[in-house]
């Protein structure tokens, strides 16, 4: 969360004063989804309660289910893998490379006759190599569901992340660069995914309120209640208006900081530095010891990605321990259809990823730094790098 204030307060007050807080009353829901299409460059969008909801709805809508393997990177928030379980499928954990994103070669090597989808994750707003990933996926007839939950507004080769694959998901929770406190969005150009995801995320209301399913080829089925409300939409509309200026200021400060640090360190390689969101600079060290020494240097106050808890597959306890549901009969790890594809998850199964995560240190960037603040921060970081 970076810039939220009077515009959002006014928008919420207006929404409340209009007294039309439900999806089908008033037009704010439609305006929010139209704005998402405009901002991200998608044909269809659905605003939802969370990024997880958008990932789950995208997977279900694309036809992913029991009997299917879905490839996910070893380094992503646990919600990516959990969304696969919620769709009844099985996550296959795959190595990242030095860019801290899914390694296209490792992805291709993981493909089996059961692979139905891949979920490239643009972690920290670092763009995955989407052209190569999409090409491999196309060759093997695999669906691409992009997890852009940490990359609202970032790009790869000039095209917004989330719009390269068959569907993309954003999160607007409190920790993202734009926020409604909680919230999510799904984008797609695929009509079938749109219709199925719309039904799935609003399963009871969609069939009963208004004419939401007019001109649908898809027919109603039981799903979830992941629709959001006019108050969140009001906030999001203001946040979408601010997105590009937040990114522009992040990029300005990111590039200025990189320039200052460059003589003293090596940065992690990027698949597209221009498109990278700009919230984080990853510094790559030769050893974990060197990374930790820098991170701990007085005033540096930075962290290693290996220490980011549920972002590292070894800490995905419910996945690693195969606890897919409370009721065993609803647990995809125990489904008959999945019996041949449940992997043996081990702590060292993606050792290459763990080594990379232990040798990087993240420097956060703030779009609202003044020049003096940026210089002062750079001075401390440089002292830490020189020590
Ligand atoms: C990579 C990634 N995927 C999915 C999610 C889930 O988003 P939400 O918290 O909005 O459900 C997050 C949330 O932080 C995330 O970082």
Candidate of 79, 83, 123 to mutate for ligand 1, largest count of ligand atoms within 8 Å of Cβ: 79
- Ligand 1, closest atom to CA 173? 10
Number of domains in the chain: 1
On whether residue 92 sits in a domain, the answer given is: yes
The rounded Å distance from CA 148 to ligand 1 centre is 9
CATH of the domain at 171: 3.40.640.10
Distance CA 194, CA 48 (A): 13
Identify which of 58, 84, 102, 150 to mutate to test ligand 1's pocket (most ligand atoms within 8 A of the CB). 150
> Residue 203 falls within a domain, yes or no?
yes
pLDDT by position in tens, the chain (length 387) = 889 999 999 999 999 998 888 887 779 999 999 999 999 999 999 999 999 999 999 999 999 999 999 999 999 999 999 999 999 999 999 999 999 999 999 999 999 999 999 999 999 999 999 999 999 999 999 999 999 999 999 999 999 999 999 999 999 999 999 999 999 999 999 999 999 999 999 998 887 787 888 899 999 999 999 999 999 999 999 999 999 999 999 999 999 999 999 999 999 999 999 999 999 999 999 999 999 999 999 999 999 999 999 999 999 999 999 999 999 999 999 999 999 999 999 999 999 999 999 999 999 999 999 999 999 999 999 999 999
154 in any annotated domain: yes
What range does the domain containing 130 cover? 6-240
Residues 362 and 371: their CA atoms lie apart, in Å, by 21
Q: How far is the CA of 258 from the centre of ligand 1 (A)?
A: 27
Ligand 1 atom nearest the C-alpha of 121 is 1
Q: Does a structural domain hold residue 377?
A: no
Is 257 within the bounds of a domain? no
Evaluate whether residue 98 is within a structural domain.
yes
CA of 300 to the centre of ligand 1 (A): 27
Using alpha carbons, select from 97, 98, 115, 114 the residue that is nearest to residue 106: 97
- Give ligand 1 pocket residues (Cβ under 6 A): 50-52, 76-77, 79-80, 121, 147, 149-150, 171, 173, 184
Query: Which residue among 146, 173, 279 has the greatest number of ligand 1 atoms within 8 angstroms of its CB, and so is best to mutate?
Result: 173
Q: Tell me the C-alpha distance between 49 and 180, whole Å.
A: 10
3-state SS class at 100: coil
> Which of 258, 254, 270, 289 is closest to 98 using CA atoms?
270
How many angstroms separate the alpha carbon of residue 48 from the centre of ligand 1? 13
What is the CA(184)–ligand 1 centre distance, in A?
A: 9
CA of 313 relative to ligand 1 center, distance in Å: 15
Atom of ligand 1 nearest to the CA of 52: 11
In a domain, 273, yes or no: no
What is the phi-psi region of residue 158: left when phi exceeds 0, alpha when psi lies from -120 to 50, beta otherwise? left
> Quick one: which atom of ligand 1 is closest to the CA of 50?
10
In a domain, 161, yes or no: yes
């Amino acid at each position: 969360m970076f810039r939220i204030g009077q515009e959002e307060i006014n928008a919420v007050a207006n929404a409340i004063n209009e007294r039309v807080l439900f999806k089908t009353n008033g037009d704010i829901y439609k305006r929010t989804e139209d704005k998402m299409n405009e901002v991200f460059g998608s044909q269809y969008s659905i605003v939802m309660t969370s990024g997880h909801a958008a990932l789950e709805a995208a997977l279900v809508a694309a036809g992913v289910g029991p009997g299917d393997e879905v490839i996910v990177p070893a380094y992503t928030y646990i919600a990516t893998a959990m969304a696969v379980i919620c769709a009844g499928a099985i996550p296959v954990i795959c190595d990242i490379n030095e860019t801290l994103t899914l390694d296209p070669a490792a992805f291709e090597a993981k493909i089996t006759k059961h692979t139905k989808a891949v979920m490239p994750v643009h972690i920290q707003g670092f763009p995955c190599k989407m052209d190569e990933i999409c090409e491999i996926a196309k060759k093997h007839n695999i669906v691409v569901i992009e997890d852009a939950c940490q990359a609202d507004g970032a790009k790869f080769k000039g095209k917004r992340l989330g719009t390269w694959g068959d569907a993309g998901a954003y999160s607007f929770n409190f920790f993202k660069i734009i926020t409604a406190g909680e919230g999510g969005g799904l984008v797609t150009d695929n009509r079938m995914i749109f219709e199925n995801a719309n039904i799935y995320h609003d399963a009871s209301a969609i069939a009963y309120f208004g004419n939401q399913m007019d001109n649908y080829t898809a027919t109603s089925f039981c799903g979830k209640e992941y629709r959001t409300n006019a108050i969140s939409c009001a906030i999001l509309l203001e946040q979408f208006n601010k997105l590009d200026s937040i990114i522009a200021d992040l990029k300005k400060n990111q590039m200025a900081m990189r320039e200052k640090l460059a003589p003293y360190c090596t940065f992690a390689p990027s698949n597209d530095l221009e498109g990278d969101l700009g919230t984080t600079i990853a510094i790559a060290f030769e050893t974990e010891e060197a990374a930790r020494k820098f991170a701990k240097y007085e005033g540096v106050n930075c962290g290693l990605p290996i220490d980011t808890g549920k972002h590292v597959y070894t800490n995905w306890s419910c996945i690693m321990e195969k606890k897919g549901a409370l009721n065993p009969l609803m647990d995809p790890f125990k489904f008959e259809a999945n019996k041949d594809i449940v992997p043996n998850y081990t702590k060292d199964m993606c050792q290459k990823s763990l080594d990379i995560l232990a040798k990087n240190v993240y420097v956060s960037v703030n779009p609202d730094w003044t020049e003096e603040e940026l210089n002062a921060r750079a001075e401390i970081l440089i002292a830490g790098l020189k020590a």
